Structure 1
């Protein structure tokens, strides 16, 4: 189920896709539309804000009937995070509630991911990316309460399952001790 405000947003996105072909322009226009939606409030049905105690949770809110875009809510409990990853398509993100920290990475000459900066996004903040620009990142709920963000992807997430293209080793992870045979 989608709320009436979400239904209006979806209609606006579909119209945008009928008029705009360039991925950068689509992402920018979708970001503007999402910013307006976030200001309106009351945008997600309760079932799209349910967390999972083990990991961040993805709820598919809507897939365009022509598979041009998907709207997804991500729900995070404190400390939950994505892997370090890149995307298969452009993405627009807006924070509904809570706090999300995004650490961006770049590849060094040896092909290793290295931190390139961190941004904290609060309710109402909107950001976007179009691969391959600023595409490698990790997102974390670094706050003390549940966070919910709304994502618009330029792909059919119902078919793909996720917008993640590639997962990278986390440079902050501690190496595991070798296992010893008995």
Structure 2
């Protein structure tokens, strides 16, 4: 399956999800524990459970050269995000702190094998991402507040993207897309209250700011908000 295929509606979002499927268990030794931005030496329990679930998903998809090509992988990631988003103890107060300049990213954990990185994004009112596709697979869930997501369609002939629709993303809304120009969007906070979202990317922790977003040209200066 090509990474450039457009994500289906079931890949992009799911509001009410069943429990996680049974997955093989993988061991994580103390030396393999992912890092956290706080001063704690041990991951908080909700985040540790999320890492264990992600490890199990990768183990179940080990026969695929690219795990994200598997339908099971996409479904598993959406379910893992939904389960994590339902736990109010997932983040510390420090990991909910924003910035007055732009949305703020907190690295929560990084897989020691470089398969994924987990981050919390904090959006103050009127803050938004640039319009972008993704160099890698990624998924997110809204934890607090409401985000506005503008979906774009890629025009290969004109080499630009056009806004197609806008949807409100409320708490526990979940999205997953594979890498490529089939999942172009812009996330933003159009409300008067802060919002927080949980993101998982298929990159090493050190690559979070450089190897995820693929900025694209927009067809005109009018962006739906």
* Runs of 4+ residues deviating >4 angstroms: none
Alpha-carbon distance between aligned partners in 2 of 1:172 and 1:58, rounded to the nearest angstrom: 28
Q: Corresponding residue for 1:68?
A: 115
Q: Secondary structure at the match of 2:101?
A: coil
Alpha-carbon distance between aligned partners in 2 of 1:74 and 1:37, rounded to the nearest angstrom: 15
Q: Structure 1: any 5+ residue segments left out of the alignment?
A: 175-182
Q: Corresponding residue for 1:40?
A: 87
CA shift digits 1:12-61 (9 cap, x unpaired): 11121111243043232011011112123211122211101010011110
2:137 pairs with 74, 90, 93, which one?
90
Change (3 A) 1:16 1:51: same
Q: Corresponding residue for 1:137?
A: 185
Q: Secondary structure at the match of 1:95?
A: strand
C-alpha deviation, 1:163, in angstroms: 4.6
Note if contact 1:86-1:167 (Cα within 8 Å) is conserved in structure 2: yes
C-alpha deviation, 1:3, in angstroms: 2.3
Alpha-carbon distance between aligned partners in 1 of 2:220 and 2:146, rounded to the nearest angstrom: 21
C-alpha deviation, 1:157, in angstroms: 3.5
TM-score, normalization: structure 1? 0.87
Note if contact 2:58-2:73 (Cα within 8 Å) is conserved in structure 1: yes
* RMSD between aligned residues: 1.8
2:201 pairs with 129, 132, 153, which one?
153
Higher strand share: 1
Say whether residues 1:23 and 2:68 are aligned partners. yes
Deviates more, 1:49-58 or 1:150-159: 150-159
Q: Structure 2: any 5+ residue segments left out of the alignment?
A: 1-37
